Amino acid sequence: MGRRVTQRDIARMTGVSQATVSLVLNDSDGSNSKGVRIAQDTRQRVLDAIRATGYVADVVGRRLADRSNRILGVFTYEPVFPSATADFYHPFLVGIEQRAEQLGCDLLLFTSGPHRMRLADGCIVLGRSIGRDELARLVAEHHPFVSVGRRDSPDVPYVGADYGAATAALVGAAVGLGHRRLAYVGTGGPAESHLDRLRGFADACLAAGVYATHAQRQHTQSQKALADAVPRLLADGVTALFLEEPADAAELIAILRGHGRDVPGDVSVVVLGEPTRAGATPPPLDVTRFRTPRREMGWQAVDHLTEIVGGGFEPGPARQTLLACELVAGETLGTAPNSTSLNSSSSNITSKERT
């Protein structure tokens, strides 16, 4: 096997200094943070030599030079690493991987305790429910990290989705189509993502002056609980159901049809996101919903983390970002059936659920 090509070899071949070769390698667009510009013909000559020799940068040496490992960790507090591309968490990891590659960083996936996070320069944390005590510990220890998903703490840096605004927009669409009795079907918490959805729903209904109810349903409950809830909601005159867990959309539509209700002719169904459970049965209709910007969240989490690593851990609102969700019209939200007997100014969602 031949000797490994070095930057010194490239410099000798092209008649430039080794420092010039290093600048070209680190700044492919011809400019750099040191304020030095490389002439285009010189830069091209170096790049041609790099390609011709198959030169590979000494990554270890570069990392020692800038005093960081350039390793970003990804840690989950629940089993969310995907086994298939259809998995809910897959786009998050795609965004993380793509941005890390662009920035020249490696990724280290942690599957054991969070105490191993210090093997990386900083860490991105994933998971629907992360204990507040654990987040507070990471903040107190000044360990650089970013949460994917909004967290109820002013000290936790995060990149989240604006579920509240997206849910409110869908409520507005339903109200615009004449719906005056709406129901939120789901847990409504304690995860922030669910709290945000319920809050957006309740606030939008209150602002529109329409009737709103919350059919609470726990993650551990069976499909029977959903089947039991539907007759009560129909008897209450509800014409639009807002479903927290999209994986239940097919089951909900089947239950409604079993009660002789057409979707969306008699009852509209609105889905608040994408299925988080693997193997969910696809609904028979293209459901009205919103898309979570999962790839973009992963991408921006890497940007946040590298900024924190580079500038020191300074948590706070300045590093908290919410990204807009994309509304999808679908075909399960239609005009409300005519009814003149509905009270459009009442709601049985409590003030506690709105806060």
The domain ranges of the chain are 7-57, 71-161+294-324, 163-287+330-354
At residue 223, the pLDDT reads 63
Q: What is the pLDDT along the chain (355 residues), one digit of tens a residue?
A: 355 677 778 888 998 887 788 778 766 444 444 455 788 888 889 888 888 887 766 544 444 345 466 788 898 766 656 555 557 788 898 999 998 888 888 888 886 655 667 778 889 998 776 777 888 888 888 888 999 999 988 889 999 999 999 999 999 999 999 999 999 999 988 889 999 999 999 999 999 999 999 998 655 445 677 889 999 999 999 999 999 999 899 999 999 999 999 999 999 999 999 887 766 788 889 999 999 999 999 999 999 998 888 765 555 555 899 999 999 999 999 999 975 433 444 444 543 343 3
Cα 186 to its chain centre, rounded Å, is 20
Question: Domain 7-57 adopts which CATH fold?
Answer: 434 Repressor (Amino-terminal Domain) (1.10.260)
**CA pair distance 327, 100, nearest whole angstrom:** 28
Long-range pairs of 60-66 with CB within 8 A, sequence gap ≥ 24 = 62/26
At residue 316, the pLDDT reads 53
At residue 177, the pLDDT reads 95
At residue 59, the pLDDT reads 46
At residue 57, the pLDDT reads 60
Peptide bond into 275 cis (omega under 30): no
At residue 186, the pLDDT reads 93
Q: Are strands 240-243 and 288-291 parallel, antiparallel or unpaired?
A: unpaired
Q: At what angle do helices 40-53 and 7-14 cross, to 10 degrees?
A: 120
Q: What is the pTM of this model?
A: 0.75
**CA pair distance 265, 285, nearest whole angstrom:** 13
At residue 63, the pLDDT reads 46
Domain 163-287+330-354 indexed as CATH 3.40.50.2300: yes
Question: Domain 71-161+294-324 adopts which CATH fold?
Answer: Rossmann fold (3.40.50)
Torsion of CA 127, 132, 137, 139, to 10 degrees: 80
Structure tokens at 11: 């410099």
In the chain, the N- to C-terminal Cα span, in Å, equals 67
At residue 56, the pLDDT reads 62
- Are 71-161+294-324 and 163-287+330-354 the same fold in CATH? yes
**CA pair distance 162, 324, nearest whole angstrom:** 5
